[in-house]
Amino acid sequence: MIPYLFATVMLLIGLYAIVARRNLIKIVIGVAITEYAINLFLILLGYRTKGVPPILGKGMDLKEFASSSVDPLPQALTVTSIVIGLGVMALLVALVLRLYEKYGTLDESEMKRLKG
CA 29 to chain centre: 11
Distances (CA, A) of 58 to 47, 51, 70, 115: 23, 18, 18, 65
- Closest distance to another protein from the beta carbon of 71 (Å): 9
Q: Which region among 36-44, 48-56, 61-69 touches another protein (by CB under 8 A)?
A: 36-44
Q: According to CB under 8 A, which one of 24, 29, 70, 82 is a site residue for another protein?
A: 24
Distances (CA, A) of 92 to 5, 28, 103: 28, 7, 16
Q: Is 88 in the site for another protein (CB under 8 A)?
A: yes
Q: Is 74 in the site for another protein (CB under 8 A)?
A: yes
Q: According to CB under 8 A, which one of 54, 68, 75, 96 is a site residue for another protein?
A: 96
Please say which residue, 59 or 105, places its beta carbon nearer to another protein: 105
Identify the DSSP state of 107.
Answer: B
Give me the amino acid identity at 24.
L
Q: According to CB under 8 A, which one of 80, 82, 106, 109 is a site residue for another protein?
A: 80
